Structure formats: C-alpha cells, structure tokens
Structure 1
C-alpha cells in the first residue's frame, strides 16, 4: 500500500504511540502531523506542519490523504474554562473532519471517551458524544470511534485524579466483569494499536470500539 496518514494530537499519550506504529508500517509512505509545535522526530516519511489551530481553514490544502487519526483532547482542568475545553475537544476535531471529508479523505478515526453520550448531564461526556454524532453525520467511507476507559501510560504531565482512578480500577479490575469490563484501565499503546489495525481493514460504515473490545484487537 502507498497510503498517507494524517494525525492531530500526535504528541499525546495515544498519539505518540500511534505515530510509532505508522512510521514503522510499510502500508504508509507518508505521515502528516498537524501540530501547534514542531515535533523533534526525524523520519523519511514524516512531514510535520506547525499550524495555528484557530485558523484551521487556512491549512485545508494540507489535509489530504487516506486515514485521518484524531487523537486530540484535553481536560476541563487543563483547559481552565468550558469554552476552551469545547474548542479543543469539539470545535477543532469537527473542523478538521469537515475539511477531510471535503478533501475526500477516506477514513476518520477518532478517540472519544468511555460513556460518550450527547444527552449526558456530564459536560465532558456530553461534549464527546456531541462530537461523535457530528462525525457520524459526515459519512466517511469508514468512521471508527474508540472509547477508552482510564488510559495507562507515561504522560508528560501528572494528572492526580486520573492516576488515583487508574490505580483503584487496576487493583479491582477483576471485579469488573460482563458489561463492566469496558471500565477496566487500558494501555494507551493498546488503543493506538487498535486504531492502526482497524485502519488497515478497508471496512465501510460506522464502528464503535469500547475499551474491552480494544483490549483484544490483535
């Protein structure tokens, strides 16, 4: 294959792992990163564009390829305001997706969140659900939505709440059975692996993967 991948959020916990998969893959001859800051990784197939996310439309000609991987996301705490959170977790991904669809990008792969629901009373979960709904409406050839539980991995920043949740759920994960299995913590590398594998299948339609399903994707 001679595919081109596009990634936003390539410096994050899942995005950085996904980038490694893509650079090592013989299925991709070009990997395009759109980021706020230049990424200090050198590879013959890697192209990194430093962009202003508030001017996404200005870079529409860069958004061409086969598989668009959206690993962008923040937290309400880090964003400081609801407005900033929505900008990063809803506005930006949707703008990129709309341009990708216009530019005939074949597949869109999105990291969402466990429990994503546009009708939820939880603002974080509601926003994730609203984004999912909008992405589905674009009708890419393949729309792949990944809903991880608490992510395990080494972050560049320390998140106390998430670390406590990770430790607690890891200790008692054996109690999470049946429908509760999807709440078990998942390695960020496994999420990245699931995204990469599903992008290679050539499937048409809309697919949603919960954490427990991603754990078993090989």
Structure 2
C-alpha cells in the first residue's frame, strides 16, 4: 500500500504550478498542451508519453521555436511500472486525458487497462508525491453501476480517484468529442450534423472547450471534488482548430 505523505504547503504567492500531462497526443490532450504552453500562469510542463515524441508533432513549429529552455519536456514512461519513474512525476497539477476505444484497444480488458488502470496508477503515484490537483477527462454517464461497460469503467475510475483524497479533484464529463482528428469517425460526423436534436447533456462538445474547462478549473483550485458536466463544458470558449494554429 502506498504511503500518503502530508500535503505540500500551498504554493507561495508568485510561484507557478508544475504541470504533468498524460494523454497529450489525444484530441483533448493536444488542446490542453497548447493552452498550457500559452498560459503565463503555468510553470514547467512535463508531457508523459509511451513512445519517444518530438514537440513538433503536437505544437506549431513557430511555438516550438520560441519555447524557453525547460518550458516543456517529454518523458517516456511505462504506465505498468510508474513506481520506478517517480523522478518525472513531481507536479502540482496533474492532467489526465488518457483514453482509447474498445475497437482501438482490441478488447474490453485492454480498454480497461488504458482507461482505468493507467489513470488510477498515475493518480496514486502523483498523490504519493504530493500533487495538489488531479484533473481527469472522464465521460458523460460515468457511473460505477451502469449497465454500459464504457460508462461503468469511467464511473469505477471516478470512485477510485475520490478515495485518494487529493486537495482538489476535477472530473470533466464531456459527451461526444468533436475536433480536428487525423481520422474522422462516422459517429462524430453524424453527431456534428444532428447534435442540435440531442438533449443538452448529450450534445457533442468541442475538445478545445473541454481543455479550456480543465485549465480554468486548475486555476480556480476549488477544494474537494468538482464535476464539470457537459453543459458547463459547452459554455467554455471555443479555440481555433489545431490545423488552424
């Protein structure tokens, strides 16, 4: 069992939060990375990746060229063995946008590993290292007793994160994500056209709005557990598509 250390003292005035981002290659994660880099109220950013990665793959060339030394670093990690990689996990804010689909993962077991086990291990390790705020991209309908496997996994993760008792825990629950994907999904194309017919809680939401909601919640630092539902996320400002930046 992990030993939970006392929480770090509040950051002194003027100190910038250290940030950890998992899932930075995904749709929400890429918007988060760009927003974090552009935010003068954010300190050094560590991007966790399961493979070697150049920042040019995620950020505009002009942005990469002007990044101050140490502003962003990429750390290649094995989520199966995070206990051996504590040196890259120190942070004040931890953003987790890890996720896949059952089709991509190949099985329910593999999906659960990526969408439940990896985020939970990340949360446990960063809690041990005294992170203040954990922010998760979950999903609308997340509920541990749901009849739907996808929603049940998301709900079980949320419940497990609550037991860790971070100073602040933010759970974003978006509906279907829209944005500039390399490979467009049929369901997303249909939802983008027919979303106006759906109830507010289920309307598609832009990935940039989810990223904006998470970053705003990080700055606000509300103690305890905070839910960002789909309606709240859809009220966030839109950002340019990644291809336009």
Same fold (TM over 0.5): yes
* Alignment partner of 1:95 is 2:121: yes
SS at 2:228 equivalent: strand
- What residue number does 1:146 align with? 172
The equivalent of 2:92 in structure 1 is 66
Residue 122 (structure 1) aligns with: 148
Structure 1 distance, partners of 2:191, 2:31, is: 23
Structure 1-normalised TM-score?
Answer: 0.92
Match of 1:109 in 2: 135
Question: Matched residues in 2 for 1:174 and 1:158: separation?
Answer: 20
Q: CA deviation at 1:188?
A: 0.4
More strand by share: 1
Structure 2 segments unaligned to the other structure (5+ residues): 1-14, 56-63, 238-245
| Cα distance in 2 for residues equivalent to 1:139 and 1:108 | 10
Task: Tell me the TM-score normalised to structure 2 length.
Answer: 0.82
- Equivalence for 1:52: 78
User: 2 CA distance for matches of 1:53 and 1:167?
Assistant: 32
Partner SS state of residue 109, structure 2: helix
Moved more, 34-43 or 197-206: 34-43
User: Secondary structure of the residue that 2:18 maps to in structure 1?
Assistant: strand
CA contact (8 A) 2:82 2:125 kept: no
Q: CA deviation at 1:53?
A: 2.1
Which residue, 34, 46, 65 being the options, matches 1:20? 34
Give the number of aligned pairs. 211
Distance 2:28 2:196 in 1: 24
Q: CA deviation at 1:35?
A: 0.6
Query: Equivalent residue for 1:172?
Result: 194
List 4+ stretches of structure 1 deviating above 2 A: 156-159, 166-176
Q: Provide the C-alpha distance between the structure 2 equivalents of 1:209 and 1:173, rounded to a whole number of angstroms.
A: 20
Task: Give the Cα separation in 1 of the matches to 2:99 and 2:107.
Answer: 14
2: CA distance, partners of 1:108 / 1:154: 26
Give RMSD over aligned pairs: 1.4
Q: Which residue of 2 aligns with 1:81?
A: 107
Tell me the CA shift for residue 195 of structure 1.
Answer: 0.6
Partner Cα distance (1:175, 1:52) in 2: 42
Q: Is 1:33 aligned with 2:55?
A: no
